[in-house]
Structure 1
Amino acid sequence: MQRYFLKNHQFHDQMAVITGDDAHHISRVMRMGLSDQVIICNEDKVCYLSTIEQMDGQEIKVKLDSKVASETELPIDVTIAQGLPKGDKFEWVIQKATECGAFAFIPLIMDRSVVKLDEKKSLKRLERWNKIAKEAAEQSHRQMVPEVFPLHSLKQLIAKASEYDVCLFAYEEIAKQGRLSQLKQSLTEISPGEKMLVIIGPEGGISESEERLLIESGFKPCALGARILRTETAPIYVMSAISYALEL
C-alpha cells in the first residue's frame, strides 16, 4: 500500500490534507479515487491507514481510520556523514542507507574530496537529495524521512559531535593493523534511543591529518571488516551491521 509523509500541520482532528507532489502522485500516477486507501505518516513517526474522502485538484482529503502498529525504525538514530563522492554515488548512498534505516545524512567536504559545489549547486543538490530520501522512506515503509543536511566541513561536523552519544569514523588503516572490534564494541555498549555518528571518507579515504583531528576530538576509528570497501559501499555495510546487531 502506498505510503506518504506529511507535516504535522496537514493533520486536522481525524482528517489530513495531502497537497503538492504527493497529491499529484495519488491522482495522476497511481490513479486512485474516492474510498481508496493509503498510509500516511506524521512528523512524530505515527502512521495511519487512511481513506480518500475528497479529491479537488491538487488537494486530497483523507480520513484517518486507524493507527498502523508496525515498528520499522532502528532502536538508535544513526547519522551517516559522507565525504562527498563523485558522480551520483551519494544519491545511491542516501537511497540504500535510508532503506537500511539511517536517521540522517551529512555530506562532507574533506581533504580528498574531488567534487566541488558552489552555493547554487549545493542548494539544488540538497533539494534532490532530500527528495530521494523521502521516496526511499516511502518505498521501504519507514515511519520517518531521514533529513539530508547542507554541506559541512569536517570542522563544522566536529563542532556538532556533542549531540551524539557515539562518534566513529571508518579508517582502513585500522583493518591493516588487525584491529577489527571497535564497531562491534560500540554496538554492544550503545542503548536504545541514543545517537550514533559515523564518518565515511570519500574516494581515497580519510587523510592522516583528518585522522589526527578526529581522534583529538574524541572520535574513534573503526574498521569495516578486513576488506577495503568503496566509499558508496561502506555506509551500507555500517547500516547492515547495526541492523544485525540491534534488530535480529
Structure 2
Amino acid sequence: MNRFFVDRKNIIGDQKLIVLDDPEDVKHIIKVLRLAEEDILEVCDGEKGIYIGEILSLSKTKIELKILEKFLSDTEPPIEVTLFQGMPKGTKMEIIIQKCTELGIHSIIPLNTARTVVQLKDKKDEVKKIERWQKIAEEAAKQSKRGVIPQIGLPINFSQLRDVLPLFDLVIIPYEKETVLGLKTLLKEQMSPKKIAVIIGPEGGFEETEIEIAKELGSMSISLGKRILRTETAGFVVLSTLMYELGDLGGI
C-alpha cells in the first residue's frame, strides 16, 4: 500500500477526515497510481501516527479521505542517530540522505570543516538545497515505510559543534589515524545510549586539530578498519552498525 505524509493540520479527527493537498502527491495519486473513489491509501502524520483512509473525493488540488483505522508506526528504531556530514562534492549528499533515511537516521546536518571544498553561494542557495534534500528524505521515508521524515538541518560550521554535542549520549567521529579504539569495542563498552551523534569528514578528511577539538567536546575517535572509506560510505557503515547493535536492523 502506498504511503503519503501529511501535516497534522490536514488530519481533522472530529470529522474522521484527511486532506491531501500537496500538488505532487495529488498528481501522483491521480495520474500515476490512477486511484479513484473508494480506493484505500496509507497516510502518516510524520509523528509515528499511521492512518488507513478511503478516498471520498478527488480534484486537481486535493484528495479527501475517510479515516478507517489509526495506529502507531512500528518502523522507527529505538535510538535517535544524527549525522553531521562533512559537505561532499556533486550529488553524494543526495545519496547519503536517501540511504541513511532507509536505515533509520533521525536527522542529518551538513557540516562545514577546514577541508570542505563545496560552499553554498548564499542564503538563497542554501535554502534551495535544503528544500531539495528534505524532499529526498521525504521520498525515501515513503518508500521505506518510515513513521517520521528525517529532518535535514541548515549547514553549520565545525566550531558550532560546541553548542550541540552536549545534547547527545554518545558522539562518534571516525578517523583514519585512530589505531586504538574500534567501533565494535566502543559499542560493547556503552550503556545503551539513546541519542547518538556521528561526525563524518568531507573528501579530504579532518584536520588533526579538529579531531582534538572533537575529543575535548567528548567525542570518541574510532577506527572503521584498515581500509580508507569514502565520505559517502563511512556514514552508512557507522549507521548500519549502530542500527544492528543498538537498533532494530536484522529483526528480533
Q: Could you tell me which residue of structure 2 aligns to residue 236 of structure 1?
A: 236
**Aligned residue runs from structure 1 range 1-248, under 5 A:** 1-13=1-13, 14-20=16-22, 21-68=24-71, 71-118=74-121, 119-174=123-178, 177-181=179-183, 184-186=185-187, 189-191=190-192, 194-246=194-246, 247=248, 248=250
TM-score normalised by L of structure 1: 0.92
Aligned residue for 1:116, secondary structure, equals coil
Q: How many residues align?
A: 244
CA distance in 2, matches of 1:115, 1:75: 34
How far apart in 2 are the matches of 1:187 and 1:41? 35
Gaps of 5+ in 1: none
Partner Cα separation in structure 1 for residue 226 and residue 220 of structure 2 = 17
Runs of 4+ in 1 over 6 A off after TM superposition: none
Matched to 1:224, the amino acid is: L
TM-align CA RMSD = 1.7
C-alpha contact 2:29 2:35 (8 A) present in aligned 1: yes
Using the TM superposition, give the Cα deviation of residue 67 of structure 1 relative to its aligned residue in structure 2, in angstroms: 2.8
* Percent identical residues: 38
Aligned letter for 1:73? E
Q: Distance in 2 between matches of 1:11 and 1:237?
A: 37
Contact 1:187–1:242 at 8 Å: present in 2 too? no
**Rounded Cα–Cα distance in structure 2 between residues aligned with 1:59 and 1:190:** 48
Q: 1:188 to 1:132 in 2, by over 3 A?
A: farther
Q: Deviations over 1:6-61 (max 9, x none)?
A: 11111101211100222222112222111111111113211122211111221111
Structure 2-normalised TM-score? 0.91
Q: In structure 2, do the counterparts of structure 1 residues 188 and 51 end up closer, same or farther at CA, with 3 Å as the change threshold? A: farther
Q: Which amino acid aligns with 1:202?
A: P
CA contact (8 A) 2:48 2:72 kept: no
SS in 1 for 2:177: helix
Contiguous gaps of at least 5 residues in structure 2: none
Task: Report SS of the residue matched to 1:4.
Answer: strand
Deviation at 1:157, TM superposition (A): 2.6
Per-residue CA deviation, residues 103-132 of structure 1 (Å, 9 max, x unaligned), is 100001111111011222211111100000
Equivalent position amino acid for 2:2 in 1 = Q
